[in-house]
């Protein structure tokens, strides 16, 4: 018989109660128990970045974080970032620059960029952006348009703040 523990997670501003086994990762719970499949699964060993979510605003790989470790923290998935009618500025910039092909890496890429721009307000250099997204692998785009989009969103944010 498998024992499960009750766990309450704050995801995208709402409380979710789930019953989990202690070894389940946050990625397991988000996708399988809550149905938030915008967070992608691939390597499950912190190598590709497609499972990235924000934990208290910082980008983390949800495939190596136990769900229990996220208790009491604020979790943001791609579903919590903007709506179809009111996209996040990063989503707007990715669309504007045609920075999406198959899309598999994009939720993790955008959340990684969100965390990076929050920590580096203003206009980061292309080198800084490249370093920031180096843990998120994209097989399609060649990265240039992604970097353009993040640079644009950073510049727009800097303008809005001035
Ligand atoms: S699935 Fe988590 S880093 Fe690849
Ligand atoms: S857009 Fe296909 S992996 Fe990045």
30 token code pair: 């988000």
Q: Which of 108, 142, 143 lies closest to 129 in space, CA to CA?
A: 143
Q: Which residues line ligand 2 (CB under 6 A)?
A: 100-106, 138-141
**Pocket lining: 154 vs ligand 1, CB cutoff 6 Å:** no
Q: Whose CA is nearest to atom 3 of ligand 2?
A: 138
Question: Tell me, what's the pLDDT at 1?
Answer: 65
Instruction: Judge whether 49 and 135 are in contact, CB under 8 Å.
Output: yes
**What's the CA gap between 115 and 63, in Å, rounded?**
18
List the beta bridge partners of residue 52.
61
| Burial zone of 94 (CB within 10 Å; 0-12 exposed, 13-18 middle, 19+ buried) | buried
Q: For the stretch 21-46, what's the b/e string if a residue is b when 16 or more beta carbons lie within 10 angstroms of its beta carbon?
A: eeebbbbbbbbebbebebbbbeeeee
Question: Tell me, what's the pLDDT at 122?
Answer: 80
Question: Tell me, what's the pLDDT at 106?
Answer: 98
Question: Tell me, what's the pLDDT at 121?
Answer: 83
Q: Which of 29, 92, 35, 81 lies closest to 59 in space, CA to CA?
A: 81
Q: What pTM value is reported for the model?
A: 0.95
Q: Which residues of the chain have pLDDT under 70?
A: 1, 158, 160-162
DSSP 51-91: TEEEETTEEEETTSSBGGGGTTSEEE-GGGSEETTEE-HHH
Question: Tell me, what's the pLDDT at 18?
Answer: 97
Instruction: Judge whether 74 and 58 are in contact, CB under 8 Å.
Output: no
Distance 27 CA to ligand 1 centre (A): 9
pLDDT digits (tens, 9 = 90+) for 18-59: 999 999 999 999 999 999 999 999 999 999 999 999 999 999
Domains of the chain: residue spans and CATH: 5-80 (3.10.20.30), 82-161 (1.10.150.120)
Distance 107 CA to ligand 2 centre (A): 10
């Amino acid at each position: 018989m498998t024992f499960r523990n009750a766990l309450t997670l704050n995801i995208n501003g709402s409380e979710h109660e789930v019953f989990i086994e202690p070894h389940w990762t946050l990625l397991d719970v988000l996708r399988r128990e809550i149905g938030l499949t915008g967070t992608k699964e691939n390597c499950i060993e912190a190598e590709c970045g497609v499972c990235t979510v924000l934990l208290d605003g910082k980008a983390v790989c949800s495939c190596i974080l136990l769900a229990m470790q996220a208790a009491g923290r604020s979790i943001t998935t791609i579903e919590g970032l903007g709506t179809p009618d009111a996209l996040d500025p990063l989503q707007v910039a990715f669309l504007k620059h045609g920075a999406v092909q198959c899309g598999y890496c994009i939720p993790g890429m955008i959340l990684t960029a969100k965390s990076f721009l929050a920590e580096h307000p203003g206009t980061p250099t292309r080198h800084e952006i490249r370093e920031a997204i180096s843990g998120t692998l994209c097989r399609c785009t060649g990265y240039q348009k992604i970097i353009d989009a993040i640079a644009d969103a950073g510049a727009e944010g800097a303008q809005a703040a001035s």
